[in-house]
Amino acid sequence: MDEKLSKVDPKLLDLLVCPLTKGRLSLKRDSNELVSERAQLAYPIRDGIPIMLVSEARKIED
């Protein structure tokens, strides 16, 4: 999993925001996702590419 994460450009991660809220995202290495706390959504990273589609995001359950 870390191998795939290393393919994501750190500069790109700094620029990405949640498409729904336009808020900051945090990288969750253990689940290979970018998380929007405000939207309660986790966007997957597949083959080193963040999938920034709300329809592809996983809803975070409390």
pLDDT tens sequence across 9-62? 788 888 999 999 999 999 999 999 999 999 999 999 998 899 999 999 999 987
Q: How far is residue 5's CA from residue 23's CA, in Å, rounded to a whole number?
A: 21
- Domain residues for 7? 2-59
Q: Which pTM does this prediction carry?
A: 0.84
Nearest to 5 by CA among 49, 52, 48: 48
Q: Are 16 and 25 in contact (CB under 8 A)?
A: yes
- Number of structural domains (the chain) is 1
CATH, residue 24: 2.20.25.10
pLDDT value at position 34?
96
